[in-house]
Amino acid sequence: MQSTIKEEFSEHLKVSKKTMESICKSIEIAAKLCIDSLKNGNKILIFGNGGSAADAQHIAAEIVGRYKTERKGLSAIALTTDTSILTSISNDYGYSYIFKRQVEALANNGDVLIGISTGGTSANVVSALKIAKKLGCQSIGFSGRDGGEFNSVCDVNLKAISEDTPRIQEMHILFGHIICHLIDQAFNKSN
């Protein structure tokens, strides 16, 4: 067991190091998009499937509550939490519409959308990001592998340098935490 545990840590560190070398500027751009949107009274909509849905909820909670420092509550919504909306859209339109329909209803010009997909290819996430562009929203992707469709539909695509889903997901929550930390700094009471 110890060798497996050490191997998992080692793989995480390798992916983290490779990703860090290529992504710092993109994370800064993504954080600035979020901060500017929030300072203008807009909101952040976050969504993904499965583990990415859980990450969306986690990141939204850090923005609405706080990450590390005391500041005012900020507007973020995980589009993965309302079971009545999710099931009604799935039933009436199909699962591929669960995020697109919510973006049509909730997104306004100036909002930021964060779509999460380990391959950047989840069709329901991609379609919501495309509709967001038409509504005047900025979009951020959290992806991995080769970045998939997120490379072309997102204003900035934060790509974990890995083919391994668990490592990609670990990087996604790190991306979210770094952005939340920068948001905290921008809205800290002392600033």
Instruction: Encode pLDDT of 51-105 as tens digits.
Output: 999 999 999 999 999 999 989 999 999 999 999 999 999 999 999 999 999 999 9
- Rounded to whole angstroms, the Cα distance separating 53 from 185 reads 26
pLDDT single digits (tens) 140-152: 999 999 999 999 9
Q: How confident is residue 189, by pLDDT bands cut at 50, 70 and 90?
A: low
pTM: 0.95
Which domains does the chain carry?
A: 2-187 (3.40.50.10490)
CA angle 12, 140, 68 (to 5 degrees): 60
pLDDT value at 191 more than 60: no
**Residues 6 or more apart in contact with residue 82 via CB below 8 angstroms:** none
Please tell me the distance from the alpha carbon of residue 174 to that of residue 184, in angstroms, as a whole number.
Answer: 15
Find, among 123, 94, 112, the residue nearest to 183 by Cα: 112
